[in-house]
Amino acid sequence: MVNLTINSIPVTVPEGTTILDAAASVDIEIPSLCYLKELNEISACRVCCVEVEGEGKLVPSCNNVVREGMVIRTNSPRALEARRVNMELILSQHDNKCATCIRSGTCQLQKIANDMGILGVSYPTDLARGKKADWTTTFPLYRDVNKCIKCMRCIQVCDKVQSLSVWDISGSGARTTIDVSGNRVIKQADCSLCGQCITHCPTGALRERDDTQKAYAALGDPDRVTIVQIAPAVRAAWGEAFGMPTGKATVGQLVSVLRKLGADYVFDTTFSADLTIMEEGTELLQRLQAGDLDNQPMFTSCCPGWVRFLKSQFPEMTGRLSTAKSPQQMFGAVGKTWLAHNLGVDADKIYSISIMPCIAKKAERELPSMDSAGHGSDVDLVITTRELARMARAEHLDVENIAESAFDSPLGDGTGAGVIFGATGGVMEAALRSAYFLTTGENPSPDAFREVRDDGTISPLPWREATFELAGRTVRCAVASGLGNARQLLHSLQRREVHYEFVEIMACPGGCAGGGGQPVDGTDREKAADRGKVLFRLDQNAPLRFSHENPAVQALYREYLDEPCSHRAEELLHCDHFA
C-alpha cells in the first residue's frame, strides 16, 4: 500500500493507483474530460492537473500513479489556474453554441466550464472554417468537427472495444483534429454504425442523424396512419433521459408519451422478437438436421451493426447468418400486410416508425430487401431513444408522473422471451426455450438456458459459451457482445479452435441495452449491465415467457403465414444478406 496526502487528507491506496482514483477514494472529485478508465488514459485534455507539493510540478492525475509520501493539492492556486487555462484553450477551439447543441445538459465540457465559473474565453476563437459539417445529413452518423475537443475517446472505443479503427488523428500542430482514418470518407470506412463513439463522446461532436422532424410531420399528418413499435431495450433506459434511475420509467408510460405525440397505434417490438424466434428457431433446427457444416454455426442476424461488421470484415462468413430478418423489420413487414388488413387500413397510408436504442437500425430499414410488403419501405422511420426523449421534452410532458397505457392489439402482445432480446444472451436464451419446445413438444423450465446470460462473472474467453442437449442432440452455443470480442470469436472459428452450432452476436457491449442510441448522462458510467438486469426482471415477472405462446404470433400463423418458414413467411420475414 502507498501512503500520501491529498488536500491534507491522509490517503492509503494500493500501489499503481492513479492520483485521480486515490482522490476519488476520499471523495475528492478531480474534473476530467478525456479520461475513460482503462480505455483512454492519455491526459490529452490536461484538465485533471494537480500540484505535487515540494516538487513544484503540475501533473495530470489520470495517468500518474501515487508514490509514498506524496503531497498532492488538487485545488492549489497553480492547479486551479492551470485547469482554467487548459479549459479556456479547449473552449477557444470549440463552437460554444450550447443553445443549439444536442448535448446541452449532458455535455461534460459545458458542465466543467460552468462548474469552474468560466464566463469568457481569454484566447482568440480559432475554429476550422468551412468544415462544420463533415458530411451530408444522409448518413445516420453525424460529426461536427468544431465540437470536437480532440479527447481521442472515439478513436479508443472504436479501436479497442469495437476493433474497427474508423477514427484517427489527422493534421498536425494547432490543426490536429480527429477524422475518418486512412483519408477515407465515413461511407467507405466500414463503420458498423454501432454508435459507441457517440455514447462515449463527452461533447456534441458526434451524434445520430436527427430524424425528429420527419417523425413530427408523419405524426401530424391526418392522411397517414402512424404505427409505432418500441424496441425491447428502450423500456429499460428511456427514463434516464429525464434523470430517472434506470428502469424506473415503465414501457406503459412510454406508450402514453407516444399517444400524446400523436401516434395512432403503439405496438411492441417484442411481438416480432417472438416471431423472430419462431422463424430463426425453426431455421436452426433445419440447419442442424441438414448437418451442413459449411453453414455452421448459424449466426443471429438481428443486430444490424453486427451484420454490417460481418459483411465488411468477414464477407466469406455471410452465409452463416440466419436469413431471418430482425424483429424491427419483421414488424414492418407484418405491419403493412396482416395488420393493415386487420385494421381495415390501406397499407399505403401506413407510416411505420420504430423507436430503437440503435443507430444501425436507421441503415437497416434502408437495405434493399426491406420492402417485402410491397408498400415502400416496410419501416419508414427509425428514431433513437435519445431522439424520442427530445420529442417528449419538446411537449413539456411530465413523464415521471404520466399514467401508463396499454399497447394496442394485436402487435402489442409480447412475451418475456421477446423482452430479453435487448440484453446480451437474450436472443440465444429465447431461441433455446422455443427450440426445446419445437423438438420435444414440451416447455423447458423458462430459466433452463440462463447460462448464456451475462451474469457479471468473468468468462475465460472474450465470449460466453454453453452446451445444451436438445432432443438428444448436443447444441454448442456462444454469445459475444462488442465487436472486438466478436472478431476474436470469428478468428477462433476460422482457426477451428472452437466449434459451435449457434452463435449470438450483438455489436454493442451488453447488447442493445448498451446501444449507441441510448441516453447519455455525461457521467461515463456504463449502464448496459443495469439495463440488462431490468429486462431480465421484466421477463421473470412476465405472464408468458415463451415466444411460441404469444397469442398474436399464434394468430398470425393461423390466419396468414401458416407455419414458420412457410413460403409466405420466407417472402416476408427472411432476407438475402448478399443482396
Q: Which listed residue (358, 419, 430, 573) binds ligand SF4 by CB under 6 A?
A: 358
Let me know: does 517 contact 384? Beta carbons within 8 Å: yes
Closest separation between CB of residue 452 and ligand SF4, Å? Answer: 16
Q: Which listed residue (154, 186, 263, 273) binds ligand HC0 by CB under 6 A?
A: 273
C-alpha closest to that of 91 among 61, 74, 114, 59: 114
> Exposed e or buried b for every residue in 75-84, given b needs 16+ CB within 10 A?
ebeebeebbb
Residue 102 interacts with ligand SF4 (CB under 6 A): yes or no = no
Let me know: does 408 contact 267? Beta carbons within 8 Å: yes
Residue 271 interacts with ligand HC0 (CB under 6 A): yes or no = no
| Closest CB to ligand SF4 among residues 347, 512 | 512
* Cis check: omega of the bond before 410, within 30 degrees of 0: yes
Q: How many residues bind ligand HC0 (CB under 6 A)?
A: 21
CA distances from 544 to 223, 409, 419, 431 (A): 36, 16, 11, 15
Residue 269 interacts with ligand HC0 (CB under 6 A): yes or no = yes
Taking CB atoms, the residue at the shortest distance from ligand HC0 is 512
DSSP 18: B
Closest separation between CB of residue 23 and ligand SF4, Å? Answer: 34
Residue 82 interacts with ligand HC0 (CB under 6 A): yes or no = no
Q: Return the range that interacts with ligand SF4 (CB under 6 A); candidates 69-77, 109-117, 435-443, 503-511.
A: 503-511
Q: Return the range that interacts with ligand SF4 (CB under 6 A); candidates 265-273, 486-494, 511-519, 527-535.
A: 511-519
Let me know: does 483 contact 305? Beta carbons within 8 Å: yes
Q: Return the range that interacts with ligand HC0 (CB under 6 A); candidates 17-25, 315-323, 354-362, 485-493.
A: 354-362
3-state SS class at 466: strand
Cβ neighbours, 10 Å, residue 8: 8
Residues of span 268-327 touching ligand SF4 by CB under 6 A: 303-306
| Closest CB to ligand HC0 among residues 202, 514 | 514
Cβ neighbours, 10 Å, residue 142: 22
Which amino acid, 185?
V
Let me know: does 425 contact 454? Beta carbons within 8 Å: yes
Residues 6+ apart with CB under 8 A from 16: 65
Residue 534 interacts with ligand HC0 (CB under 6 A): yes or no = no
Q: Return the range that interacts with ligand HC0 (CB under 6 A); candidates 352-360, 373-381, 444-452, 571-579.
A: 352-360
Alpha helix segments (H runs only) across 228-268 = 234-237, 251-260
Q: Which listed residue (357, 416, 425, 446) binds ligand SF4 by CB under 6 A?
A: 357
**Partner interacting with residue 305 (select from ligand HC0, ligand SF4, none; CB below 5-8 Å by kind):** ligand SF4
Q: Return the range that interacts with ligand SF4 (CB under 6 A); candidates 133-141, 358-366, 430-438, 547-555.
A: 358-366
Alpha helix segments (H runs only) across 19-170 = 19-24, 77-92, 108-115, 153-156
Closest separation between CB of residue 377 and ligand HC0, Å? Answer: 15
Let me know: does 276 contact 326? Beta carbons within 8 Å: yes
Q: How many residues bind ligand SF4 (CB under 6 A)?
A: 16
Residue 427 interacts with ligand HC0 (CB under 6 A): yes or no = yes
Closest separation between CB of residue 235 and ligand HC0, Å? Answer: 8
| Closest CB to ligand HC0 among residues 325, 464 | 325
Closest separation between CB of residue 373 and ligand HC0, Å? Answer: 16
Q: Return the range that interacts with ligand HC0 (CB under 6 A); candidates 191-199, 323-331, 337-345, 401-409.
A: 323-331
Residues of span 183-242 touching ligand SF4 by CB under 6 A: 194
Residues 6+ apart with CB under 8 A from 197: 141, 153, 154, 157, 158, 166, 167, 206, 516
| Closest CB to ligand SF4 among residues 423, 542 | 423
Residue 4 interacts with ligand SF4 (CB under 6 A): yes or no = no
**Judging by DSSP bridges, how do beta strands 2-6 and 9-13 pair with one another?**
antiparallel
Binding pattern to ligand HC0, positions 488-527, x when CB under 6 A? -----------------------xx--x------------
C-alpha closest to that of 51 among 16, 77, 24, 85: 77
| Closest CB to ligand HC0 among residues 48, 358 | 358
Radius of gyration of the chain (CA): 25
Residue 326 interacts with ligand HC0 (CB under 6 A): yes or no = yes
| Closest CB to ligand SF4 among residues 204, 511 | 511
Q: Which long-range contacts (CB under 8 A, 24 or more apart) does 94-97 make?
A: 94/127, 94/146, 94/147, 94/149, 94/203, 95/127, 95/132, 95/144, 95/146, 95/147, 96/121
| Closest CB to ligand HC0 among residues 158, 419 | 419
**Backbone torsions φ then ψ of 80, nearest 5 degrees:** -65, -40
Residues 157, 161: Cα–Cα separation, whole Å: 5
**Partner interacting with residue 40 (select from ligand SF4, ligand HC0, none; CB below 5-8 Å by kind):** none
* Grid cell locating 479: 454469445
| Closest CB to ligand HC0 among residues 480, 512 | 512
Closest separation between CB of residue 518 and ligand SF4, Å? Answer: 8
C-alpha closest to that of 573 among 265, 278, 229, 232: 278
Residue 426 interacts with ligand SF4 (CB under 6 A): yes or no = no
SS3 readout for 382-424: EEEHHHHHHHHHHCCCCHHHCCCCCCCCCCCCCCHHHHHHHCC
Residues that bind ligand SF4 in the complex, under the rule CB under 6 A: 194, 303-306, 357-358, 360-361, 506-508, 511-512, 515-516
Residues that bind ligand HC0 in the complex, under the rule CB under 6 A: 231-233, 269, 273, 276, 302-303, 326-328, 356-358, 361, 421-422, 427, 511-512, 515
